[in-house]
Amino acid sequence: MIELIKKAEITHELDKEEIVKLLEDDSINDELLAAADRIRKKYVGDEVHLRGLIEFSNICKRNCLYCGLRAGNKNIKRYRLEPEEIIELASKAVGYGYKTVVLQSGEDEYYTVDRMKYIISNIKKLGIAITISIGEKTFEEYKALKEAGADRYLIRIETTDKKLYEDMDPGMSHEERKRCLRDLKELGFEVGSGCLVGLPNQTIDSLADDILFFKEIGADMIGIGPFIPNEDTPLKDATGGDFTLSLKVMALTRLLLPDINIPATTAMESLNKNGRIIALESGANVVMPNVTEGEYRKLYALYPGKICTGDTPAHCRGCITGKITSIGRVVSTSKGFRNRKLEF
Ligand code: 5AD
Ligand code: SF4
Ligand code: FES
């Protein structure tokens, strides 16, 4: 097993069987996480990139079984922010020192391409990078967002197991999801994807496929988080994902894609009170603090136990800086684009 970790550290290549072995063996966890931390340091250094997350609408036309924002959930108060409010939040994020904002929402048709173009072009004037995370769109729509000034796009594959994906996301097509990722890449976005760990009936085999898929599509960013069952969804009685397994999937992703950006996800910290710091010491180099204000933070209820829902953007900015410096790392002052070190 230690030889396998060494191989991953030197060649950044493992086959599916080798990944499965490492995911199944819990006696090597410390070595695996430490190797991912070394590779993180070697390829992306000690800087941690902060992205200010704006959750601008919790309205969604989709029905993903795991998600609290699903259209079928009638127990949640819905909100949507007007373009001017979103631009205002982005401008405050600049004031807190963020060099990137992430505009995230459910799949809400109120935000037409024209509205998004207006929002993006105005935020662009602030001189920061923009990441969009608003779901599945056509090639033409993605193209318009890119031309308006969007730099990056996040769309998780959630799972590469087609059957599981289509069971979890009723009415959605796995092929279409992959089409989105291909189009975004072709349009020159920095592309972020990722998966959930611990979905019902998800296997270790399929998690190994997920990691290989990230490599295959040439992802620039990968976010991995445990699935956390939500009371207001059909999966309320499911077991949910394991913190350590999520961490291992993330560490293996760092070993195989050494120079990409990997966030320490909020879901990790929702399962472990030190989750983001542990993730930053196991391969991650990005944190996405919330810059949404007031009750909206709580209403963007993907899963229960979400951190920071009662805190202010200013508080989170100070909190996360303290945590990052406490482990000897530094908050980056750059926009934090992927700095390619290897061609695969
Ligand atoms: N637990 C953890 N993550 C979730 N997401 C949605 N619902 C949950 C949940 N119950 C994740 C999905 C989506 C991202 C925005 O939030 O992976 O892509
Ligand atoms: Fe909508 Fe995204 Fe939640 Fe699915 S995961 S219901 S697309 S917000
Ligand atoms: Fe929000 Fe620590 S980052 S309270």
**Complete DSSP assignment for 16-38:** HHHHHHHHH-GGGHHHHHHHHHH
63 Cα nearest atom in ligand 2: 6
Mean pLDDT (the chain, rounded): 97
> What is the C-alpha separation between 314 and 335, in angstroms, rounded?
20
Percent of the chain with pLDDT over 70: 99
Tell me which residue of 187, 181, 152, 151 sits closest to 165, measured CA to CA.
181
Ligand 2 neighbour 209 (Cβ under 6 A): no
Query: Residue 148 C-alpha to ligand 3 middle, in angstroms?
Result: 31
pLDDT in tens, 241-257: 999 999 999 999 999 99
**For ligand 3, atom 3, which residue shows the shortest CA distance?**
316
In this prediction, residue 343 has a pLDDT band, given cuts at 50, 70 and 90, of low
Q: Element (H or E) spanning 270, and its range?
A: helix 266-271
pLDDT in tens, 130-142: 999 999 999 999 9
Question: Which residues does ligand 3 sit against, CB inside 6 Å?
Answer: 289, 308, 311, 315-316, 319-320
For ligand 3, pick from 98, 311, 321 the residue to mutate: most ligand atoms within 8 Å of CB. 311
Please compute the mean of the pLDDT values over residues 161-169 and round it to a whole number.
Answer: 97
Within 170-322, strands assigned E span 190-197, 221-226, 286-287
276 Cα nearest atom in ligand 3: 3
**For ligand 2, atom 6, which residue shows the shortest CA distance?**
70
323 Cα nearest atom in ligand 3: 2
Q: Note the pTM of the prediction, 2 decimals.
A: 0.97
Distances in Å between the alpha carbon of 5 and those of 2, 17, 45, 252? 5, 13, 20, 9
**For ligand 1, atom 18, which residue shows the shortest CA distance?**
156
Query: Residue 250 C-alpha to ligand 2 middle, in angstroms?
Result: 22
Query: Residue 288 C-alpha to ligand 1 middle, in angstroms?
Result: 15
230 Cα nearest atom in ligand 1: 10
State the ligand closest to the CA atom of 52: 3
Query: Residue 188 C-alpha to ligand 2 middle, in angstroms?
Result: 24
State the ligand closest to the CA atom of 316: 3
Percent of the chain with pLDDT over 90: 98
pLDDT in tens, 35-85: 999 999 999 999 999 999 999 999 999 999 999 999 999 999 999 999 999
Is residue 342 scored above 80 in pLDDT? no
**For ligand 1, atom 16, which residue shows the shortest CA distance?**
302
* CATH tag for 32-330 (out of 2.60.40.10, 3.40.50.880, 1.10.10.60, 3.20.20.70): 3.20.20.70
What is the signed CA dihedral for 172, 178, 184, 186, rounded to 10 degrees?
Answer: -150
In this prediction, residue 340 has a pLDDT band, given cuts at 50, 70 and 90, of confident
pLDDT of residue 77: 98
Domain boundaries, the chain: 32-330
**For ligand 2, atom 7, which residue shows the shortest CA distance?**
62
Ligand 1 neighbour 225 (Cβ under 6 A): yes
Is residue 151 scored above 60 in pLDDT? yes
